[in-house]
Structure formats: C-alpha cells, structure tokens
Amino acid sequence: MTLLLKKKGYIKIKMEIMKSRHICCQLILNKKKGFFLIDTGASNSCVDETKINFFSLIKNDSEIEVSGAGIEKIKVTPTKKSIFSFKDNKSIKLSLMLLEMESINISLKEQNNKAIDGILGADFFKKSNAIIDYKSKNFYLKL
C-alpha cells in the first residue's frame, strides 16, 4: 500500500498507540515538535492553551462556544492559521482552537501515557486528503 500511495503523491506519518489505546502521532507545528491525539470524530483540531507560546500561536480576538461529546458547551479561542510541516517542504495551513487540556492530560498520565499537545480533528484529515491505515499504524497525507 505504501508504494502505491507514494506514487500518487502521499506522504506517510507513523502513528503510535498509547497504553490507553488512544492513537497519536508526532508532527511539526510552526517549526516545533508536538504530540497529537488523532480524533477523526472531533470536527476541529485543537492545541492545549498552555502551548500558545511554545507553538507561536496567534489568538483571534473572540472566544466561541463549541459542543463536545457531552452536553456541556466548551469555550475555545480560535487561532490565526498555523503551519503543519512535513517532508519535501509540504505543509498544511490550518486555524486551530485553543482548548484547556489539563483534565485530558491528567487522565492520560494516570494511565501511564504521554501528555498530548493537541488533537487532530476532521478538519486536518479532510484538508490533507488523509487515509488512515490502522493495521500498519500509519496515515497518509496528500498535500
């Protein structure tokens, strides 16, 4: 599969399955390495609000409310477009949502997992024409 997708212009990204069975990957965001949870059910990609300076993110002026899987509304702050960088000078520009992730990371650490810097949502996977191959623990992006 890899060779066929490479011929069609896809690049391969390795996924990591955590002890909690969450799937994550390491990516470069605004020239900094980050560890991101893969959540195709999330409509928007998010970054932990405590990482705003680390990833050189620029907030938009307004805070908005979004819905999560539960009934509660969650307050997030959109960012101006940021750049995910890949091999061969390929990139994706995407506006991200700043989200409080302390409770997520506490839960992950309690299960002996690494903390995450953010969440890759459907917007990322749609924009990159992603194909996820769970068996090989890779996903492929066509940029």
pLDDT in tens, 66-81: 666 555 667 889 999 9
Contacts 24+ apart (CB under 8 A), 127-130: 127/92, 127/94, 128/92, 129/10
Instruction: Give the range of the structural domain holding residue 138, as residue numbers without chain letter.
Output: 2-142
Instruction: Give the single-character DSSP code of 130.
Output: -
- 1 confidence band (pLDDT: 50, 70, 90): low
Q: Are 139 and 10 in contact (CB under 8 A)?
A: no
Q: How much is the average pLDDT of 70-96?
A: 87
CA distance 25 to 45: 14
Q: What is the pTM of this model?
A: 0.90
Share the mean pLDDT of the chain: 91
Q: What is the CATH number of the domain that holds 43?
A: 2.40.70.10
- Count structural domains, the chain: 1
Q: Give pLDDT, residue 69.
A: 57
Q: Give pLDDT, residue 82.
A: 96
CA distance 36 to 78: 17
Q: How far does the chain reach from its first CA to its final CA, in angstroms?
A: 18
